[in-house]
Amino acid sequence: MPLSRRDFVQRSAMTGAGVALAGAVDVLATAPGALAVSAPEGTRHQDGHAPGYGPLVDDPAGLLALPAGFAYRIVTRTGTTTLDSGESTPSNHDGTAAFAGERGATLLVNNHELGGPRANWPYPVPLADELVYDPAASGGCTVVEVPRHWQDRHHAEPVTEWVGIAGTSTNCAGGATPWGTWLTCEETEDRAGANGMTKDHGYVFEVDPHDRRANRGPRPVKALGRYAHEAVVVDPKRGHLYLTEDAAGPNGLLYRWTPPQGFHHGRGRLATLADDAGVLQAFRCFDSGGRFVDDLSRATRIGTVFGVDWVDVPDRDAKTLSVRKQFTDGQVTRARKLEGMWWADGGTYVVSSFARSESPVQHDGAVWFYDPSRRTLTLKVLLGVNAEPAKDGAFDGPDNITVSPHGGLIIAEDGNGVQHLFGAVDDGRTYPLARNDLNIGTEEAPEYSEFTGVTFSPDGDTLFANIQTPGIMLAITGPWRRQGGKGC
């Protein structure tokens, strides 16, 4: 039975404000106000190993620093690799998911976060026949097929790539479905006639990596709302979809979509829904005393637990007013840069990338866990403000996220200065996994692009990740070992 506000307040009163309602809260990262750093030398995890895989080793090629024993290969690179049509791999790689293909291959659906007119970009997503939503838009997805033995450098079978959807805009993150497709999210609110567009944008589209024909005539899933979408996950038990919004002025929201009675999920079925099908709602949090929480940044202690209510969205298509602006102060809870999500452990992990002057309290990243059975939101990771982002060592700006088959979380950094992939385990430690060494700035003013699209191959042996600019997909292998308990 879902936890009611009344039950939440009564049970919290017995355990104390900010304390888990049942059992101990797993602490994932640094204490509030501190910076996430690798484990001190000599610190041992429960399995006898220090968390992580040791210090990062500079890459002679100047691309990706990894721990000793790890290696990488470039899967796709804008301006170098080509699609099966002969055109360049599009740029600005973002959210990615991995699916099991035929003969042991891995299929990767890769978003390309390209907004505005096509003329703005040297390598937009090609307008492939029958796969175009808006011919004026530059974004979309490609599908990359990596053969089973491709990591063996002597293997001759090449990687192939083709367009999954084109003519969409600012395809940022998204999410894999339990039925084996990818939901790609547009992080924009551009209307037809604005910014060169010929159709409305700000929607979610479904892409099938297994069947190119299923992607013909792309249709937005308008039932999921029109706003600056970031990521989406599916509750395989209840059928709900949860969606994040990366927006400010005011800060964005976490949404839940409940399917209409009698609806059954499956490939292509979301696109058959009426525009107003189901119920789209935004979250509203309250603390252990029943007090409304206006912004998630109010939580300054790992283990803080909020109860969650859901409030109906008045106009999900935002015909006259952005969805997040349709609520007055006191109706919903907000958070800055709600970004990546990942479904695991019976709920969803949700990232708030940072909070600055637009939020009540400043931080450099947080990860929450929403438990739908209890209707509670628990703070799992909290990163203090990184005072020296240009200095290697601290982590800030978490974005895309995945739950590792080897335990804990793997997080893509989209902060200032140095950019990492880093892990978080359930005993309170974080550790570096990779560092982007590709300087796209100058020697005097170095600049490093964000990491995106972290996802493991179906067998768990390969971690795929992207460097967004110029657009590089990487396959990382190494001596993986257990890094903590389940998920977080």
266 in a domain, yes or no? yes
Torsion of CA 350, 355, 360, 363, to 10 degrees: 90
Contact 288, 396 (CB under 8 A): no
Residue whose tokens read 């599916």: 234
Domain that holds residue 289: 1-30+236-385
Among 354, 326, 484, residue whose Cα is nearest residue 407? 484
Among 68, 53, 58, 23, residue whose Cα is nearest residue 425? 53
Q: What is the pLDDT of residue 384?
A: 87
**Residue 11 phi, psi (nearest 5):** -70, -35
> Token pair for residue 32?
């509030």
Q: What is the pLDDT along the chain (488 residues), one digit of tens a residue?
A: 445 555 554 444 433 333 332 222 333 333 333 233 333 333 444 455 668 999 999 999 999 999 999 999 999 999 999 999 999 999 999 999 999 999 999 999 999 999 999 999 999 999 999 999 999 999 999 999 999 988 777 766 899 999 999 999 999 999 999 999 999 999 999 999 999 999 999 999 999 999 999 999 999 999 999 999 999 999 999 999 999 999 999 999 999 999 999 999 999 999 999 999 999 999 999 999 999 999 999 999 989 999 999 999 999 999 999 999 999 999 999 999 999 999 999 999 999 999 999 999 999 999 999 999 999 999 999 998 888 888 888 899 999 999 999 999 999 999 889 999 999 987 657 899 999 999 999 999 999 999 999 999 999 999 999 999 999 999 999 999 998 755 55
265 in a domain, yes or no? yes
Helices and strands per DSSP (H, E), number in the chain = 1, 27
Measured CA to CA in angstroms, residue 187 lies from 165, 236, 250, 339, 393 at distances of: 16, 24, 16, 10, 30
Helix, strand, coil content of the chain in percent (nearest 5): 5, 35, 55
Q: Look at strands 409-413 and 204-207 and give their pairing.
A: unpaired
DSSP 8-state symbol, 243: E
Q: What is the pLDDT of residue 4?
A: 52
Contact 28, 302 (CB under 8 A): yes
CB atoms under 10 Å from CB of 134, counted, come to: 22
Q: Is the peptide bond before 250 cis (omega within 30 degrees of 0)?
A: yes
CA distance 109 to 143: 5
269 in a domain, yes or no? yes
Among 213, 222, 370, residue whose Cα is nearest residue 284? 370
329 in a domain, yes or no? yes
> Token pair for residue 266?
């499956």
Contact 472, 450 (CB under 8 A): no
65 in a domain, yes or no? no
Total-model pTM: 0.91
Measured CA to CA in angstroms, residue 98 lies from 88, 107, 453 at distances of: 21, 6, 10
Q: What is the pLDDT of residue 49?
A: 62
Identity of the residue numbered 472: I
DSSP 8-state symbol, 152: S
- Total domains present in the chain: 1
272 in a domain, yes or no? yes
- H/E element, 11: helix 5-15
Q: What is the pLDDT of residue 422?
A: 95
CA distance 420 to 53: 14
220 in a domain, yes or no? no
The contacts found for 322-328 with CB under 8 angstroms, 24 or more apart, are 322/189, 322/227, 322/247, 323/225, 323/226, 323/227, 323/245, 323/253, 323/282, 324/227, 324/245, 324/247, 324/250, 324/251, 324/252, 324/253, 324/282, 325/250, 327/253, 327/282
Contact 363, 33 (CB under 8 A): no
CA distance 330 to 250: 13
Among 236, 436, 235, 203, residue whose Cα is nearest residue 318? 203
402 in a domain, yes or no? no
- H/E element, 203: none
Contact 30, 363 (CB under 8 A): no
